[in-house]
A and B are shown apart, each in its own frame.
Chain A
Amino acid sequence: MTAALERAYRDERAAVLATITRRLGGDLALAEDAVQDAFVAAAVEWDRRGVPDRPGAWLTTTAWRRALDRRRHERVAREHLHRLAEPMSYDLEPELERSSLEDDRLRMLFCCCHPALAPEARMALTLRSVAGLTVPEIARAFLSSEAAMERRLVRARRKISDARIPFAVPPDEQLPERLAGVLRVVYLVYTEGHAAARGDAPIRGELCEEAIRLARLLVALMPDEAEANGLLALLLLTDARRSARQGAGGALVALEDQDRARWDGALVDEGAAVLERALRLPARGPYAIQAAIAALHSRAESWEATDWPQIAGLYAVLAGLDPSPVVTVNRAVAVGFASSPRAGLALLDEVALTGYQPLWAARAELLRRAGDDEGADAAYSQAIALSGNEAERAALERRRKVKAAE
């Protein structure tokens, strides 16, 4: 029985929550409580009477009844009403058709990723209500206390209901922008796991895996959106290198120094296949282009044998769509190989963000290759001083020494 309950919690909870939230007109806070009630009831009932044939349907019906009970109770307590304003029925034709369940999960994603919520709240809420992680799991992933995470979630749910953030897929005119916001949340969940900005553990695998699960869900729900496919491809291709990226003692290993035999070939193949689909669809954007760059790296037998001219070209396209320091720095590195280190350095001069660590790391590399050892050492020192991660700092120290000894 416990196994059945655990399985239901993992497999059914998100869909049940999404259905109940929609039935309640978007009241995610009440829906969370009702779904929790339903699982508590299941722990008792399934033990006594056996596991129902369709656990999802049982949970949905039970959660719906609990939600109505709670709502009635609240109203009576608040108003001493003689009669309820609107009669509500206990009857729920459990809407367990596949299409309607999928629609509800998509609504849940757009609701949890609404731009009116704080960015950290969007990530936490998505992991809780869409991915089904527990509060302790989310707290651990974000290096936060359980109490603080719970408060953040409660506040976000309250805003959804108080400000009436719609539980809906946005209308066509808002869809591109809002979908970009949803993709951004999934991307940030991945990067939060992949390169922690603080702390000593550079990679927190569970967040990477959840982000990929979410990206897969998005592609399943919106198969014709180029950027949903682009994001999934990017995450798969990046994740293929995860184990090669972490060296002995947790130090980060730069792409250049990674043991390519340790890249996960199955993930590379899957990522390349998803990328092909993304590139065939209209309106491909930054994620598809970044995935194309990642695919070129995956295909190269070595750092030296990488197709730098094509990568530099893709970064130029990306810079046109997203002229951020991150893109410029990566573009400069690629140009440094495709044409010359000096050409790469010239691009770096455009970056105004002087406190940005990767800028100094890239400048150091390019100066070294241009033969300016003194400038390179100074740039490494800057990069090391700006790094907030122990493993990253150690990697930079090592690079500075190794290259200087050559």
Chain B
Amino acid sequence: MQYLIQLTYRPGEGPQEGTPEFDAEMAVWGALNQELREAGVVLGGSGLNVDSATTVRTRGGELTVTDGPYAETKETLFSFYMLDVEDLDAAIAWAAKMPAAEYGSVDIRPMVGLELR
């Protein structure tokens, strides 16, 4: 079963860059990523640049491109994984190990099927 794991947080929450806590968190992420790779459950994933998002809409054939959504509004998506695991409990077990679960939130969405590569 394939799941999209979305990691969000409110800017300002969690360890700030340049602090020892931040470095410690990075070490946890590194170890977790290693564990995920070794388990062979990762389909893909990446961190995201939260300050430089762009929104595209076409309405009645008209293209609108806008800056944002802005990082300072509510919860910001900052990273994602795509995992292939047995069931929801397995996905929850991985999500619970992610440091962002402590200060932000981790959303698990079942994927209908990864068809494009």
Contact B110 A162 (CB under 8 A): yes
- Interface residue tally for chain B (C-beta within 8 Å): 9
Contact A174 B89 (CB under 8 A): yes
Chain A 110-125, CB-CB to B under 8 Å as 1, else 0, gives 0000101000000000
Which of A163, A164, A165, A170 gathers most chain B CB within 10 Å? A164
Instruction: Compute how far the CA of A26 lies from the CA of B87 in the bound complex, rounded to whole angstroms.
Output: 11
Is A166 at the interface (CB under 8 A from chain B)?
A: yes
Count of A-B residue pairs with CB < 8 Å: 25
- Min CB distance B52 to A, Å, is 32
- Min CB distance A13 to B, Å, is 26
- For residue A178, which residue of chain B has the nearest CB? B89
Contact A166 B110 (CB under 8 A): no
Instruction: Compute how far the CA of A332 lies from the CA of B108 in the bound complex, rounded to whole angstroms.
Output: 42
- The A interface is mostly helix, strand or loop, or mixed, namely loop
Is B88 at the interface (CB under 8 A from chain A)?
A: yes
- For residue B109, which residue of chain A has the nearest CB? A163
The contact size tier of chain A is: 10 to 19
- Min CB distance A173 to B, Å, is 8
Is B1 at the interface (CB under 8 A from chain A)?
A: yes
Chain A neighbourhood of B87, CB < 8 A = 26, 164-166, 168
- Min CB distance B31 to A, Å, is 19
Contact B89 A170 (CB under 8 A): yes
Instruction: Compute how far the CA of A168 lies from the CA of B89 in the bound complex, rounded to whole angstroms.
Output: 10
- For residue B110, which residue of chain A has the nearest CB? A163
Instruction: Compute how far the CA of A192 lies from the CA of B89 in the bound complex, rounded to whole angstroms.
Output: 28
- Residues 89-111 of B at the A interface (beta carbon under 8 Å): 89, 92-93, 108, 110
Instruction: Compute how far the CA of A346 lies from the CA of B88 in the bound complex, rounded to whole angstroms.
Output: 46
Chain B neighbourhood of A163, CB < 8 A = 88, 108, 110
- Min CB distance B60 to A, Å, is 33
- Min CB distance A385 to B, Å, is 35
Which of B86, B88, B108, B110 gathers most chain A CB within 10 Å? B88
- Min CB distance A24 to B, Å, is 14
Chain A neighbourhood of B1, CB < 8 A = 164
Instruction: Compute how far the CA of A164 lies from the CA of B1 in the bound complex, rounded to whole angstroms.
Output: 8
Instruction: Compute how far the CA of A174 lies from the CA of B96 in the bound complex, rounded to whole angstroms.
Output: 12
Chain B neighbourhood of A166, CB < 8 A = 86-89
Chain A neighbourhood of B110, CB < 8 A = 162-164
Q: What are 25 A-B interface contacts by the 8 Å CB criterion?
A: A26-B87, A114-B88, A116-B88, A116-B92, A162-B110, A163-B88, A163-B108, A163-B110, A164-B1, A164-B87, A164-B88, A164-B110, A165-B87, A165-B88, A165-B89, A166-B86, A166-B87, A166-B88, A166-B89, A168-B87, A168-B89, A170-B89, A171-B89, A174-B89, A174-B93
In the A-B complex, the 5 residue pairs with the smallest Cβ-Cβ separation, listed nearest first, are: A166-B87, A164-B87, A164-B1, A163-B110, A165-B88
